[in-house]
Structure 1
Amino acid sequence: MMRYVARRLLWGAALLLLVCALTFVLFFLLPSGDPAALRAGRDASPETLARVREQLRLDEPVWVQFWTYVKGVVLHFDLGYSYYSSAPVSTLLWDRLPATIALALGAAVVWLAIATPIGILSALRRRSWLDRVFMGGALIAISAPVYWVGLLALYLFADDIGRFPLLPGANSYVPLTDDPGAWFGSLLLPWLVLAGAFAGIYARLLRTSLTETMSQDFVRTARAKGISESRVVVRHGVRVAITPVVTLLGVDLGVLLGGALLTEAVFNIPGIGRLGLDAIVYADFPVIQGTVLLAALFVVLANLVVDVVYAFLDPRVRYA
Structure 2
Amino acid sequence: MFTFTLRRLLLAIPTLLFISLIIFLLLDFAPGDPTAQLPLTIPPEVKAKIRESLGLGEPIHIRYLLWLKQFAVAEPLHAFDATFGTHFGEGMQRVISWQTRSPVGDIIAQRMPQTLWVVGLSYVLGTLIALPIGVLSAYRQYSWFDQLGTFVSMVGYSVPTFFTGVLLIVIFAVNLGWFPSIYDTTHVVSDWDSFVFQVRQMVMPVAVLALYNAAQISRFMRASMLDNLGQDYVRTARAKGMSEKVVVLVHVLRNSMIPVVTVIALGVPTIFGGAIITEQVFKVNGLGQLLITAIYANDIPMVQTLTFIFAILIVLFNLIADVLYGILDPRIRYD
TM-score (norm 1): 0.88
**Structure 2 CA distance for aligned equivalents of residues 282 and 143 of structure 1:** 31
**Residues 122 and 19 of structure 1, relative CA distance in 2, 3 Å threshold:** same
User: Is the 1:37–1:44 Cα contact (8 Å) retained in structure 2?
Assistant: no
2:46 to 24, 38, 48: 48
Letter of the 2:306 counterpart: T
1:161-193 CA distance string (max 9 Å, x none): x22322232133434567332222211111110
What percentage of residue pairs aligned between the two structures are identical?
A: 34
2:211 is aligned with 1:196: yes
Match of 2:129 in 1: 114
Match of 2:154 in 1: 139
Superposed counterparts of 1:218-233, under 5 Å: 218-233=233-248
Match of 2:226 in 1: 211
Deviation (angstroms), 1:91: 1.4
Superposed counterparts of 1:286-301, under 5 Å: 286-301=301-316
Deviation (angstroms), 1:291: 1.2
1:80-139 CA distance string (max 9 Å, x none): 121222222111111111111112331123212331222112211223343233213212
SS of corresponding position for 1:170: coil
Of 229-238 and 78-87, the range deviating more from structure 2: 78-87
**Residues 208 and 73 of structure 1, relative CA distance in 2, 3 Å threshold:** closer
2:6 is aligned with 1:6: yes
User: Is the 2:70–2:105 Cα contact (8 Å) retained in structure 1?
Assistant: no
Match of 1:17 in 2: 17
Letter of the 1:12 counterpart: A
Of 134-143 and 254-263, the range deviating more from structure 2: 254-263
1:80 to 75, 88, 95: 95
Letter of the 1:241 counterpart: S
TM-score (norm 2): 0.85
Of 254-263 and 93-102, the range deviating more from structure 2: 254-263
2:108 to 89, 93, 117: 93
Q: Aligned-residue CA RMSD in angstroms?
A: 2.4
**Structure 2 CA distance for aligned equivalents of residues 86 and 206 of structure 1:** 46
Total equivalences in the alignment: 315
**Structure 1 CA distance for aligned equivalents of residues 274 and 136 of structure 2:** 32
User: Is the 2:28–2:300 Cα contact (8 Å) retained in structure 1?
Assistant: no
SS of corresponding position for 2:223: helix
Letter of the 2:131 counterpart: T
SS of corresponding position for 2:330: coil
Deviation (angstroms), 1:43: 4.5
2:259 is aligned with 1:241: no
**Structure 1 CA distance for aligned equivalents of residues 5 and 188 of structure 2:** 35
Match of 2:26 in 1: 26
Of 220-229 and 74-83, the range deviating more from structure 2: 74-83
Match of 2:84 in 1: none
Deviation (angstroms), 1:65: 2.5
Letter of the 1:21 counterpart: L
Deviation (angstroms), 1:203: 1.1
**Structure 2 CA distance for aligned equivalents of residues 73 and 205 of structure 1:** 35
**Residues 71 and 272 of structure 1, relative CA distance in 2, 3 Å threshold:** closer
Match of 1:167 in 2: 179
User: Is the 1:4–1:319 Cα contact (8 Å) retained in structure 2?
Assistant: yes
Letter of the 1:59 counterpart: G
Match of 1:35 in 2: 34
Unaligned runs of 5+ in 1: none
Unaligned runs of 5+ in 2: 77-92
Match of 2:267 in 1: 252
Match of 2:88 in 1: none
SS of corresponding position for 1:34: coil
SS of corresponding position for 2:175: coil
SS of corresponding position for 2:97: coil
**Residues 12 and 43 of structure 1, relative CA distance in 2, 3 Å threshold:** farther
SS of corresponding position for 1:35: coil
**Structure 1 CA distance for aligned equivalents of residues 334 and 215 of structure 2:** 32
**Structure 2 CA distance for aligned equivalents of residues 215 and 164 of structure 1:** 48
Of 163-172 and 212-221, the range deviating more from structure 2: 163-172
